[in-house]
Amino acid sequence: MVFLRNIKYAVYTAFFIIIAGALSGGIIMAENKYNKLTPEEEYVIIHKGTEKPFSGKYYKFSEKGTYHCKRCGAPLYRSEDKFDSGCGWPSFDDEIPEAVKRQKDADGIRTEILCAKCGAHLGHIFEGEGFTPKDVRHCVNSVSLTFSPSKEDRSMKKAYYAGGCFWGVEYLFEKKKGVIDAVSGYMGGHKKNPTYEEVCSHTTGHREVVEVTYNPEEISYEELTKYFFEIHDPTQADGQGPDIGEQYKSAIFYNNEEEKKIAGKLIDVLKKKGYKVVTELIPASEFYKAEEYHQDYYTKHKKEPYCHIYKKRF
């Protein structure tokens, strides 16, 4: 009988090990399905940190659409529920039903809000402040969110420009009428998801590129590209200003032959004016958003570009 009990125990043990392994494997597989996060995103989303107030991309953002979880992509909030509370972080007075969950914060006082699907840390929820008739404020970190425009905003287009340090290019494009958004990132290399340090090591082939989202009904691709040639020096071959190296070289990454044709025509116009333009025309490839601390750099630090100044050339 003892022998039989030992056999049964061994069988049950093996069974539970197999089940645990399968569950563990499932968890690992599920984890691998999540979006890759930068260290800054992990600090907030995984380790429950907080981004600096007034620094987030979506704090003063008013486009129509849906806000999703940065980690898993689940829809969380709608733009019609967003309001400006003046607190320095995006504020919402309602969530998409069953999209977020609440739990007592580690400080034992506040209520934390998390993505109901993946558990990503979003921020905190407050009541009784009187900001809106619903009297609720979801205080959310921009870094925990991504945004998708509503159908009426999907006519927006994207253009890609490399003109030295992306801080200055992004800063000036964001001030141009017709531009919806400008994002710093990397393009043109051979490594997936490069880091800033890897790009600076000149081993990935990437350039510092700004992704410009614009409304073609307000500004044309040609006007946008003219502006690009006027906010950096397209005749400097080794970089831009004091920033020297492959990652800082001037280039336009075109999405199609029409964009290539327009950019080429503008280069010809500049050459006829006497400018020895060295800007390269390169087919657009995958764009990788740069780390969060690079986004809106000059705005966050209340500074202005040191090597990007508007100069009329057309």
Whether 139 is catalytic is yes
Whether 102 maps to a domain, the answer reads: yes
172 and 211 co-located in one domain: yes
For position 152, what pLDDT does the model report? 54
- What does the CA dihedral 289, 292, 295, 301 come to, rounded to 10 degrees? -160
For position 176, what pLDDT does the model report? 94
Whether 165 is catalytic is yes
Determine contact, residues 45/37, Cβ cutoff 8 Å: yes
For the sheet containing 145-149, what is the strand order? 75-78, 65-69, 145-149
For position 20, what pLDDT does the model report? 40
Whether 191 maps to a domain, the answer reads: yes
123 and 166 co-located in one domain: no
Helix/strand/coil for 102: strand
Q: Which of 68, 55, 70 is nearest to 294 (CA)?
A: 55
164 and 88 co-located in one domain: no
pLDDT in tens, 280-305: 999 999 999 999 899 989 988 889 89
Whether 194 maps to a domain, the answer reads: yes
Number of folded domains that form the chain: 2
pLDDT in tens, 187-238: 999 999 999 999 999 999 999 999 999 989 889 999 999 999 999 999 999 9
For position 153, what pLDDT does the model report? 58
Last residue of a domain, which of 113, 133, 149? Answer: 149
170 and 267 co-located in one domain: yes
Catalytic residue among 115, 139, 200, 307: 139
294 and 160 co-located in one domain: yes
- pLDDT value at 13 more than 80: no
221: domain CATH number is: 3.30.1060.10
**Residue-number span of the structural domain to which 78 is assigned:** 45-149
**Any residues with CB less than 8 A from the CB of 19 and at least 6 apart, and which?**
none
230: how many CB neighbours lie within 10 A of its CB?
Answer: 15
For position 62, what pLDDT does the model report? 86
pLDDT in tens, 251-280: 999 999 999 999 999 999 999 999 999 999
Catalytic residue among 118, 165, 200, 307: 165
130: domain CATH number is: 2.170.150.20
pTM, full prediction? 0.59
Determine contact, residues 188/205, Cβ cutoff 8 Å: yes
